[in-house]
Amino acid sequence: MPSSSGSRRRAIAERAMTSAFDLSAGSFEHHRSLPAEAPAAIRSAVLAATRIPAPARVLDLGAGTGRIGRAFVAAGDFYAGVDTSLAMLREFSTNSGNGFLALADGRRLPFKNSTFDVVLLMHVLSGVGDWQSVLHEARRVLCPGGCVVVGHTGSPESGVDAQLKRRLRAILEEIGVAWHQPRESRRQALAWLESSARRHTHSVAATWNVNTTAREFLERRRTGARFADLPSGIQTQALARLHNWAEATFGSLDTAHPETRTFELDIFEFERF
């Protein structure tokens, strides 16, 4: 755990570990930005829903470029961010103040038992394959009375992004690619957490309006880790078919469509021993 005296050190292990997110690290926040006030609102919602005093000892699994973690660092929490992408952590390190960053696998965390008050899983459970191992590790390093916080961005089912996601999944299935079901993965993980938690709280930490276009979705999809792992020929074919479908459905790819976005939290508190 990073020391609280003076400026807390930032450590990034320089060992060989590849990640599909490495190639998109530089543009990650451009394509997946949050309102400036959202990260601080997420932190406030976590502390308001629990009895954990500030400064809290926070572990952020899948810390990425720090778009959410920076709020915890800025508030003076004892923050540790973990990610499998060295490029992402370098972006975080460049743009953050004090904090402890570690290149590590969420299934094998380099921390002792009962180290943290809060474990954050922001946009993680919908993308990770082996969520059981990740959650077991999260519980292992969580202090008695601590909480696991799962967060994701919500958008309307009738919105442009939601329609394009559904169509892309259908296209990939037609091509013969068994595509990941993020909602089902997150649902199963949330049920597992709820089965052992003392209390479960759902809250909307932030709400904002955006004008989104089909073109933005197509550009953002190229940087998605799971999609980027597909063979280049399949990527090209799928995006070409999605491009044609979007033009037929929405007209111009650059037409702006207003949508309301939310950042939603599921907070699971565990027993004090």
Q: Helix count (H) and strand count (E) of the chain?
A: 10, 7
CA distance 119 to 121: 7
In which element (H, E) is residue 210 found?
strand 199-212
Sheet holding 142-154, edge to edge: 100-103, 78-83, 57-61, 116-122, 142-154, 257-269, 199-212
- Answer yes or no: is pLDDT of 221 > 50: yes
**Taking the model in full, what pTM does it have?**
0.85
Is 167 part of a structural domain of the chain? no
Query: How is residue 79 written in tokens?
Result: 């923050």
Segment 61-65 mean pLDDT:
89
Report yes or no: 228 and 7 within 8 Å, Cβ to Cβ: no
Is 138 part of a structural domain of the chain? yes
Tens digits of residue pLDDT in 165-211: 999 999 999 999 877 677 788 889 999 999 999 999 999 999 999 99
Q: Write down the pLDDT at residue 64.
A: 86
Is 126 part of a structural domain of the chain? yes
- Answer yes or no: is pLDDT of 239 > 90: yes
DSSP secondary structure code for residue 217 in this structure: H
Instruction: For residue 6, name the pLDDT band (cuts at 50, 70, 90).
Output: very low
More confident of the two residues 131 and 116? 116
Tens digits of residue pLDDT in 119-150: 999 988 877 778 899 999 999 999 999 999 99
Instruction: For residue 245, name the pLDDT band (cuts at 50, 70, 90).
Output: very high
Is 205 part of a structural domain of the chain? yes
If one counts the domains in the chain, the total is 1
Q: Write down the pLDDT at residue 5.
A: 34
Which of 15-29, 42-56, 93-107, 215-229 is modeled with the greatest confidence?
A: 42-56
Segment 257-267 mean pLDDT:
95
Q: Write down the pLDDT at residue 257.
A: 94
Is 174 part of a structural domain of the chain? no
- Answer yes or no: is pLDDT of 15 > 70: no
Segment 209-227 mean pLDDT:
86
Residue 192 lies in domain: 22-156+180-214+260-269
Q: Of the ranges 7-21, 111-125, 145-159, which one carries the lowest mean pLDDT score?
A: 7-21
More confident of the two residues 21 and 172? 172
195 contacts: CB under 8 Å, gap ≥ 6 = none
Is 14 part of a structural domain of the chain? no
30 contacts: CB under 8 Å, gap ≥ 6 = none
Segment 68-93 mean pLDDT:
90
CA distance 210 to 260: 6
How would you class 7 by CB atoms within 10 Å of its CB: exposed for 0-12, middle for 13-18, buried for 19 or more?
exposed
Segment 59-80 mean pLDDT:
92
Is 5 part of a structural domain of the chain? no
How would you class 191 by CB atoms within 10 Å of its CB: exposed for 0-12, middle for 13-18, buried for 19 or more?
exposed
Q: Write down the pLDDT at residue 18.
A: 44
Segment 156-166 mean pLDDT:
93
- Answer yes or no: is pLDDT of 228 > 70: yes
Q: Say which CATH number the domain at 122 has.
A: 3.40.50.150
Q: Write down the pLDDT at residue 28.
A: 54
Is 188 part of a structural domain of the chain? yes
